[in-house]
Amino acid sequence: MPPSQLTETVESTPTSIAPSQRESAERRPTPKPLTAGRRGGTEQGFLYFFVVAPFLAVLAMIPVAWGWGISWLDIGLFFGFFLVGGLGVTMGFHRHFTHGSFKAKRGLKIAMALAGSLSIEGKVITWVADHRRHHAFSDKEGDPHSPWRYGDTTKALLKGLYFAHTGWMFDREKTNKQRFTPDLLRDRDIVLVNSLFPIVMLISLLGPALIGGLVTMSWAGAASAFFWGGLVRIFFLHHVTWSVNSICHTIGERPFASRDKSSNFWPLAIPSFGESWHNSHHADPTAARHGTLKGQIDITARVIWFAEKLGWAYDVRWPSPTRTAAKMVTPEAGRTRAT
């Protein structure tokens, strides 16, 4: 089954069917459950570290910057790793692997899987399984990170916002990969990259320190690069991604009809590489461009466009003006802010 169908399919059994249909239904395999076991202690420990440690690093950012300052090398490492890891998630994990917005030559496919892993947001197959499950049950029971899971009162929404932003990461239940990512489990390249995640994680964390140390030939340069290009960069990349889960399902505009509470939130358009045009995305999940309206910056779509021109990406699902217009609601509804 192609990714575009996997993201929108929810199995159900009719309550009233004819005898011939009942026999056919009885022969069908029982749908796989949403979750499959619980995270182990080691996996959970690493998860806590990579959520808490970057947060603590950011708390220390001001006094450290006051004492050490920040060099152009630190800035370059921060943005360089942020760009590669961020686009690996948005172009690779999300638009290619989750939704099949375009097809990629083998080299680009592997590069995107490795680049996305540098973000330390989890293994590629795990990330895709969670996100396909999110689309299948968006803002309903079964969604792994909906901010509306506790209700729509102020107290419930505040609790839900925390859960959608960070809290869901600590949920020990694992999404069933056999149900949501059977295509990736059959892809030997992706299974290999998935297994190499611990190594890629170390490269992401220690790579900036190694580069900083070699360029400056000092331990101080290595420590500063580790702080800015490693911990602080991971913190910002994580929270930009998580903001799409939380903010972009509560605050913003909804110019397109969708079956959930997804919204477009323009302030995050650049740091999220175009992912914060979230209402547009949920209205047309397989489209390669999320910023479909005039003036909506979508950096990821532009990178996909370049890859297509170079012959690395093909069969790109660009949204047509007709399709976009057909999914729009009235202008008044589009200007209504999510609450």
CA-angle at 250, arms to 244 and 252, nearest 5° = 80
DSSP string, 224-254: HHIIIIIIIHHHHHHHHHHHHHHGGGTSSB-
pLDDT band at 49 (very low <50, low <70, confident <90, very high): low
Q: What is the rounded average pLDDT of the residues 278-293? A: 95
Residues of the domain holding 199:
51-255
In a domain, 318, yes or no: no
Whole-angstrom distance, CA of residue 82 vs CA of residue 207: 13
For every residue of 89-134, DSSP letters joined together read: IIIIIIIIIIT--SEE-HHHHHHHHHHHHTT-S--HHHHHHHHHHH
Dist. CA 185–CA 59, nearest whole Å:
39
Higher pLDDT, 18 or 156: 156
pLDDT at 212 over 60: yes
- Indicate the pLDDT class of residue 174, thresholds 50, 70 and 90: confident
> How far apart, in whole angstroms, are the C-alpha atoms of residue 129 and residue 288?
19
Residue 73 falls within a domain, yes or no?
A: yes
pLDDT tens, position by position, 215-233: 999 998 999 999 899 988 9
Q: Which two tokens stand for residue 256?
A: 């397109």
Q: What is the pLDDT of residue 142?
A: 87
Select the more confidently predicted residue: 59 or 147: 147
Query: What's the pLDDT tens digit per position in 299-327?
Result: 999 999 999 999 999 999 999 888 888 88
Task: Tell me, yes or no, whether 326 lies in a domain.
Answer: no
CB count within 10 Å of CB 173 equals 13
Return the top range by mean pLDDT from 28-42, 163-177, 202-216, 256-270: 202-216
- Phi then psi for residue 19, to 5 deg, are -55, -45
CA–CA dist 6, 98 (Å, integer):
9
Is there a domain that residue 204 lies in?
Answer: yes
The CA radius of gyration of the chain, in Å to the nearest whole number, is: 21
How far apart are the C-alpha atoms of 146 and 156, rounded to whole Å? 12
Please report, to the nearest 10 degrees, the dihedral formed by the alpha carbons of residues 276, 243, 145, 137 taken in order: -10
At residue 180 the predicted structure's pLDDT band, cuts being 50, 70 and 90, is: very high
Does residue 192 lie in a domain region? yes
Residue 74's pLDDT is what?
93
312 contact partners, CB below 8 Å, separation of at least 6: 104, 105, 107, 108
Does 307 reside within a domain? no
89 pLDDT higher than 80:
yes
Structural domain total, the chain: 1
Whether residue 317 lies inside any domain: the answer is no
Q: What is the mean pLDDT of residues 198-214?
A: 95
pLDDT at 55 over 90: no
Most confident of 71-75, 189-193, 237-241, 265-269: 189-193
Q: Classify burial at 322, counting beta carbons within 10 Å of its beta carbon; exposed 0-12, middle 13-18, buried 19 or more.
A: exposed
Model confidence, pTM: 0.80
Interval 99-108: pLDDT, tens: 999 999 999 9
In a domain, 136, yes or no: yes
21-25, 88-92, 239-243: lowest mean pLDDT where?
A: 21-25
Confidence of residue 9 (pLDDT cuts 50, 70, 90): very low
Lowest mean pLDDT among 74-78, 149-153, 277-281, 284-288: 149-153
Query: In the structure, how many helices (H) and strands (E) does the chain have?
Result: 18, 4
pLDDT for 61 equals: 63
Answer yes or no: is pLDDT of 57 > 50: yes
**Which residue is it, tokens 């499950």?**
133
Q: Give 333's contacts (C-beta < 8 A, 6+ positions apart).
A: 254, 255
DSSP run (H or E) holding 147: none
Token digits for 209?
Answer: 């320190």
Q: Give the distance from CA 55 to its chain's centroid.
A: 19
In this structure, how many other beta carbons lie within 10 angstroms of the beta carbon of residue 111? 17
